[in-house]
Amino acid sequence: MARNLSDVLHYFGPELAESEARVRPADGQTRAETSACRVIGVPIGSRDVVRAAFAWNIAVEVVRLGGRATILCPDETSPSPLWPQASTGPLGVGLRPSLAQNLDELLTSAQNWVDSTVHRSESDLLLVRIPPEWIGKATGPSALLDWVLLFTSSEEANLQEALTLTGNVVDRHPAARVGITIHGAQTREEAETAFGFLARASREKTGHDVRSYGLLVDDLDVYRAIVAQRPIGLAHPQSPAARALRDVAELVLGDIEEDARG
């Protein structure tokens, strides 16, 4: 079911205190080691630097909250214009390139990475960049579509694009969990209206509920961080964008832990 965006938009007003709830264990102890790793497909175009920056910064926030995160990305050019140089980045966030040319090959790359890596806990996360056009060309279900996170602005054209992409995901993978993160809204009401439109339209056209994964603010700090190739949460930790990115990471980790509890 769709969440209420008001749960994660507290940074719009000083009267809404920042939540102190965090995914990191209260006793500070390391979680028990398991072989778990969760995979989230993130549709991002080959020139969509801003949404790539959102994904990169969410991965950093997952690590700051006690998890581990890696981004797997199929990119034709090296170095890619979307990401920092492929390696282990800030706080141990990994960036791994893939030579995949379609969704099936990308799934194989993801499976190979999961199988070859020791995973400590249920909070280990692999974010996989999926070129949006690959979803429409897929011939059947793919495990990369089990859990999909879409970034969309509140502009009508982008909302319609997100709705079409949601339909493509659900057509090929009816059991998909589709999460929506709104960016670029100027007010809380604008963000809630945008998500409400997507939630209603998705239910009417696909019979599928989408989930809210919060709001990201397109402010100057986002673009500064892109140019500097430095995570917003480290460069500008008190900015609205940094707090918003942490909110999204908390929602992701919260769902992972809820899934692990069954």
Residue-wise pLDDT tens digits, 190-226: 999 999 999 999 999 999 999 999 988 766 777 777 7
Instruction: Note the pLDDT of residue 18.
Output: 35
Task: Give percent of the chain above pLDDT 90.
Answer: 48
Compute the average pLDDT of residues 13-30.
35
Rounded distance between C-alpha atoms, residue 114 and residue 35, angstroms: 9
Sheet harboring 124-130: ordered strands across? 94-98, 68-74, 124-130, 38-43, 147-153, 177-183, 211-216
As a whole number, mean pLDDT of residues 177-201 equals 93
- Residue 217 sits at the vertex; the CA angle it makes with 74 and 156, to the nearest 5 degrees, is 80
Checking if the pLDDT of 118 tops 60, the result is yes
| Packing angle, helices 49-64 and 240-261, rounded to 10 | 60
Average pLDDT taken over every residue of the chain? 81
pLDDT of residue 236: 83
Over the stretch 149-161, which tens digit does the pLDDT of each residue have?
999 999 999 999 9
- What's the one-letter identity of residue 183? H
Residue range 129-139, pLDDT digits in tens: 999 999 988 88
Q: Is residue 137 within 8 Å of 145, Cβ to Cβ?
A: no
Instruction: Identify which of 112, 255, 103 has the alpha carbon closest to the alpha carbon of residue 169.
Output: 103
